[in-house]
Amino acid sequence: MEDIITLNLGGFPKDVLDFQESSIYLQQLLFIDYQLQLLIQNEFSGKQFVSAGHFELQGVSQPREKLLQLINYVTNVNGTYSEEYKTVVEKFYFNIIMAHLFYLNSQLDEMAYQLDLIHASALTPSTSQPYNEFIEFLICRYHVVGSYASNSSSKLIDYLVWYRKPFKKSQITANNWLDLLYLRLTTLLTHDGTGKLSFHDIQSLNFARNSIAVIGYANYLVKTSVLSLSSNHIVDSFKSEYSAYLTSSINLKIANKLEFPKSDESSKTPSQLNDFIYNLYETLNQVPFNYTIIKPSLTKKFLINSTLKTYQSQTVLINLIKVLGELEEYDEALAAFKTLRDYIEADLKQHEGNFDDILQIIDIYSTCLIKFNPLNTNRTKGFKYTSEDKVLVLLDEYAKELLIYLDVVRDSVGLTYDETHDTESFKGGQKVEPSSGLLSFLFKKYNVNILLSDHSHFIELVSQAWFSLGYYHYYLTINKSSTYPLLEAHKMKVIKYYKNSLIVNSTGNPEYLFNYALSLSFDGHLKEALKLCKFILKKYPESFKTWNLMVLLLTSFEANDPDFVKSDKQNASNGYSNGTHEAIGTLNGNGASNGKISESQAPLKESEKFINNALNIAGLFIAKHHQRDVKLTTEAKYEILQLKLTQLAVWESIYGVQYILEFLSEVFMLFHELFTVDHTQPKEPTRTLIPVAHDSKWSHRPSFIDPKIEPPHANGSSKPKDLTRRLSRMGKPNAVDTVEGLKNLSLNHNNRSSLTHHATTESLAQKATTTEKKILQDLWLWTSKIYLKIGMLEESEQCIVEAESIYEPNVKTFTMLGYLTSKSRKFLSLQELERSIEKLNKDPHNKIDYGNTLLGLCKLFIIDDEAERSLFISSKDRDAGIIRLKNCLEAYSLSWPYGANNLEVWYYLSKIYEIIDDKTLLTKSLWKCVELEDFRPVRGYEIADSFKY
């Protein structure tokens, strides 16, 4: 029975090759079926029903030769077993396999004869659930193979008339053959793809009264039309007609009054409702953008109504949890999941520990681990009534339970993972030689008994489960590692679980690949991360954050070795500045860079070459979407914008800050190209940035040193009462002119001549979305840092003015002002930095901004403080501030990767350890500085991370 369970789950037994010598007929059939599927995968391009003659027309004879060998073997093996000892199911299984082989060999008469020997009606149900599921798979496969024998849709339609109960999620093999049935039916109905289907066409077929079949087939058609333009077999009105059908069906279900069933009630009606819900959402959830077909609000209403008509239905609760998660109603989703766990536990007791649908359980657990992860919930509304500590306690329980369920699947299917690496194998840093096993999944197939594609449902579910576990521990490395041993343990699990997801699914999901590459980068496995990035880009060349990460990795090697693999300039530059599309010119320098770098200069470095290539692909990507009139996602726009910033950072590292000043305009031009918004004539800003001297008079010791003392503007308002004109334009005219040029470009680079000299970003603030405002504000703050680096203080100040004009003042603008005034107006700088710290203490997940602010305080206290104009009123006062800084830095250094990998954090810790004369920790921190400096990228790897707006 274990072999049958394995086959139902989509695999073959781990020892299937040993079945060749087995005396058990069913095991021989499993071996033969495995050889058939292996032959199709390796010699028939993975296509189940393409004859060997097709390949012979292309001059390839090997498929026919191997096929004939297998046919001869099957014939000989079958003759060695007496017919009287074969069960009806075994004979049925053999006939299907033999008919399939005959079709591949173009023996259609023999194929039809084989199928007529035993009909599906001869099969009788068993008392064993796995065996019945095996029979269901065989019946579905029988009808698919039969449709090729008759070359008609009649067998397929007959099957769909009979198909009244949907396959479970764990019936992977049956579901795969159901998809093949839908594919074959579509091919026949559209006359080999020359026609298109309307939803009315589906309703006119004989199975139209079977809603299970209609919905399953319709969802298949919508899914394939979205995922592949070449497989679009439906008319434009199909989705709207189908949506109307579903809406009407759901409303009828809601209006249908059913009494809540008793626990011992065997009424068919609740079961039919369960099947309808399961079939609808199981297939619909595989359709991208399915909310355009059924509104989530209607789904929520329907499922809540269904809880009143079903008894302890896991199906209803699972789909309710998913839709509540999509609607960001996390408290309600969590409550529903708690109830679901009780249902699962009760069901296990009732069935003596046997799972009815293990993959359905794994799916909802991994979904909840991702949805309830604070890294996800804190970007949105989050939990309103459940504390984060309570959520984390529950997530820890869910993670442990999910591991148990994954063990069940591992044992059932015979999955293999890499268990050879202990904690030491995953230690970060360059001193420890990274294990070559970190990328072993690229050249080693761990599970040869699994012949499913990386896009199959089984592979996606199991890999998602491992990813959700790694993602959970990634959160713990950032926020919940109180000691270094605990931090190392969480880091090890991040890498281990991410790798497990890729052992199962090595190519099917670019997000899993990227997150693993990013984690390897954070942990110092730079060579492995670089190799993985190149692997990702071969399969997903439009993964722009992978391009960004790869370029940053190249700069880290160039930092360690300035002569690191340079490219021939003629091959590497690829010009692109005189490209045919405007976006390409803007992305890659629009010719200005070619005018700056003469041919006599050194050839381009690898980082320059690849950032140019990345931006060229991004330009083509933008052009392609414009031509198709398809909108780019905000995430894609942001990733492309980050590529441009990385290009300037690469140039800065090679040619200096002054060199990139003339390219700042291109950043704002690119922003406008990506985020197209309407603009109106704005007004001149009248706010002040730096107050006059008497407004910033110091009245008391810093609250950072003495946190019990409230800062003057502790309410966090953007305009403190004692600073009535905090924001003003104090720059020289040329400073205004410099920033005005950037500002005008960011507003409308296509109609720059029509803009007046004093156009400001306030117009954008009126029209753009909140996300666009935040992104543009960050661009202004990034520009402010560039000006600050070269001492252009007025320009830097004006950029902060623009940043606070486009979007509300916040910790980012406060901190930037703190940096700007750190030397000239120390008390104001301290006030601004404290203001940020005060807000960030209420937002413990904002580690990046917290780190920037903390480092600003370190600079102010340790570097810029002067004895004659000290912020401190006494040496004791200074010691207290330094110790508080030390505690904050040490705590932040336990946040991986943001604090643990931050060179400045360890540098300031070394300065503090030097002050307090702790030689042991001083040595440790200095070595950490050396380690990080040796392979320091031009920007932190975290900028390539997920979209954070």
The stretch 914-920 carries a mean pLDDT of 94
Q: Is 534 exposed, middle or buried (0-12, 13-18, 19+ CB in 10 A)?
A: middle
Asked whether residue 759 falls in the same domain as residue 707, the answer is: yes
pLDDT tens digits along 631-655 = 899 999 999 999 999 999 999 999 9
Residue 768 has pLDDT above 70, yes or no: yes
Which one-letter amino acid corresponds to residue 741?
G
| Total number of domains constituting the chain | 4
Helices (H), 505-543: 510-522, 526-539
Asked whether residue 615 falls in the same domain as residue 753, the answer is: no
Residue 268's pLDDT band, with cuts at 50, 70 and 90, is: low
Asked whether residue 703 falls in the same domain as residue 736, the answer is: yes
Q: Is 625 exposed, middle or buried (0-12, 13-18, 19+ CB in 10 A)?
A: middle
Rg of the chain taking only CA atoms, in angstroms: 32
Residue with tokens 């579509």: 186
Residue 369, Cα to own-chain centre: how many angstroms? 14
pLDDT at position 144, please?
Answer: 97
Where in the sequence is the domain holding 856, given as residue range(s)? 843-949
Asked whether residue 684 falls in the same domain as residue 825, the answer is: yes
Asked whether residue 885 falls in the same domain as residue 749, the answer is: no
The stretch 747-755 carries a mean pLDDT of 42
pLDDT at position 312, please?
Answer: 87
Asked whether residue 443 falls in the same domain as residue 588, the answer is: no
Where does a domain end: 626, 656, 676? 676
pTM of the model: 0.89
pLDDT at position 351, please?
Answer: 85
Asked whether residue 688 falls in the same domain as residue 831, the answer is: yes
Where does a domain end: 532, 551, 586? 532
Sign of CA dihedral 183, 189, 190, 193: positive
Say if 829 falls within a structural domain: yes
Residue 581 has pLDDT above 80, yes or no: no
| 431 compared with 935, residue with greater pLDDT | 935
Tokens of 333: 């989703």
**717: helix, strand or coil:** coil
Say if 69 falls within a structural domain: no
**588: helix, strand or coil:** helix
The DSSP secondary structure of 807-854, one letter per residue, reads S---HHHHHHHHHHTTTT-HHHHHHHHHHHHHHHTT-TT-HHHHHHHH
Say if 158 falls within a structural domain: no
- Cis peptide, bond prior to residue 897, ω within 30 of zero: yes
Helices (H), 166-267: 172-189, 199-203, 211-227, 238-255
Tokens of 103: 């079709």
Q: How many other CB atoms sit within 10 Å of the CB of residue 454?
A: 14
d(CA 465, CA 365): 8
The Cα-based distances of 178 to 120, 126, 150, 444, 666 in angstroms read: 16, 22, 18, 31, 52
pLDDT at position 576, please?
Answer: 35
Residue 738 has pLDDT above 90, yes or no: no
Residue 122's pLDDT band, with cuts at 50, 70 and 90, is: confident
pLDDT at position 629, please?
Answer: 82
pLDDT at position 744, please?
Answer: 67
Kindly give, in sequence order, each residue whose CB lies less than 8 Å from that of residue 527, ignoring residues fewer than 6 positions away: 434
Say if 553 falls within a structural domain: yes
Residue 586's pLDDT band, with cuts at 50, 70 and 90, is: low
Which range, 34-43, 419-428, 559-568, 583-592, is most confident? Answer: 34-43
pLDDT at position 948, please?
Answer: 82
Q: Out of 122-126, 433-437, 706-710, 839-843, which region has the weakest mean confidence (pLDDT)?
A: 706-710
The Cα-based distances of 483 to 146, 650, 848, 891, 894 in angstroms read: 64, 35, 20, 9, 7
Which range, 426-430, 741-745, 898-902, is most confident? Answer: 898-902
Residue 469, Cα to own-chain centre: how many angstroms? 14
Say if 824 falls within a structural domain: yes
Residue 582 has pLDDT above 90, yes or no: no
Residue 748's pLDDT band, with cuts at 50, 70 and 90, is: low
**Which long-range contacts does 871-878 make (Cβ < 8 Å, 24+ apart)?**
871/702, 871/826, 871/827, 871/830, 872/701, 872/705, 873/701, 877/701, 877/705
Asked whether residue 650 falls in the same domain as residue 510, the answer is: no
Residue 252 has pLDDT above 60, yes or no: yes
pLDDT at position 766, please?
Answer: 52
Q: What's 193's DSSP letter?
A: T
Which one-letter amino acid corresponds to residue 191?
H
Asked whether residue 698 falls in the same domain as residue 805, the answer is: yes
The stretch 399-414 carries a mean pLDDT of 96
The stretch 22-48 carries a mean pLDDT of 95
Asked whether residue 932 falls in the same domain as residue 869, the answer is: yes
d(CA 458, CA 168): 12
Run of H or E residues at 460: helix 457-479
Give CA torsion, residues 556, 560, 562, 566, to 10 deg: -50
Residue 712 has pLDDT above 50, yes or no: no
Where does a domain end: 498, 532, 566? 532
pLDDT at position 735, please?
Answer: 52
Q: Out of 60-64, 302-306, 375-379, which region has the weakest mean confidence (pLDDT)?
A: 375-379
Kindly give, in sequence order, each residue whose CB lies less than 8 Å from that of residue 201, ignoring residues fewer than 6 positions away: 189
Is the CB of residue 768 less than 8 Å from the CB of residue 690?
no
Asked whether residue 488 falls in the same domain as residue 528, the answer is: yes
Asked whether residue 523 falls in the same domain as residue 422, the answer is: yes
Sign of CA dihedral 130, 133, 135, 137: negative
pLDDT at position 733, please?
Answer: 37
The Cα-based distances of 68 to 1, 454, 685 in angstroms read: 31, 29, 82
Q: How many residues does the chain have?
A: 949
Residue 292 has pLDDT above 70, yes or no: yes
Residue 733, Cα to own-chain centre: how many angstroms? 46
Mean predicted lDDT score pLDDT of the chain = 85
Give CA torsion, residues 437, 438, 442, 445, to 10 deg: 50
pLDDT at position 749, please?
Answer: 44
The CATH number linked to 947 is 1.25.40.10
Say if 5 falls within a structural domain: no
Say if 739 falls within a structural domain: yes
Residue 139, Cα to own-chain centre: how many angstroms? 37
pLDDT at position 477, please?
Answer: 98
Kindly give, in sequence order, each residue whose CB lies less than 8 Å from that of residue 446, ignoring residues fewer than 6 positions away: 415, 416, 417, 418, 503
Nearest of 154, 71, 53, 82 to residue 114 by alpha carbon: 71
**Which long-range contacts does 746-754 make (Cβ < 8 Å, 24+ apart)?**
746/668, 746/669, 746/671, 746/672, 746/776, 746/779, 747/672, 747/679, 748/672, 748/679, 749/668, 749/669, 749/672, 749/673, 750/672
Is the CB of residue 17 less than 8 Å from the CB of residue 448?
no
pLDDT at position 716, please?
Answer: 42
d(CA 382, CA 372): 9
Residue 678 has pLDDT above 90, yes or no: no
Say if 123 falls within a structural domain: no
Residue 138 has pLDDT above 90, yes or no: yes
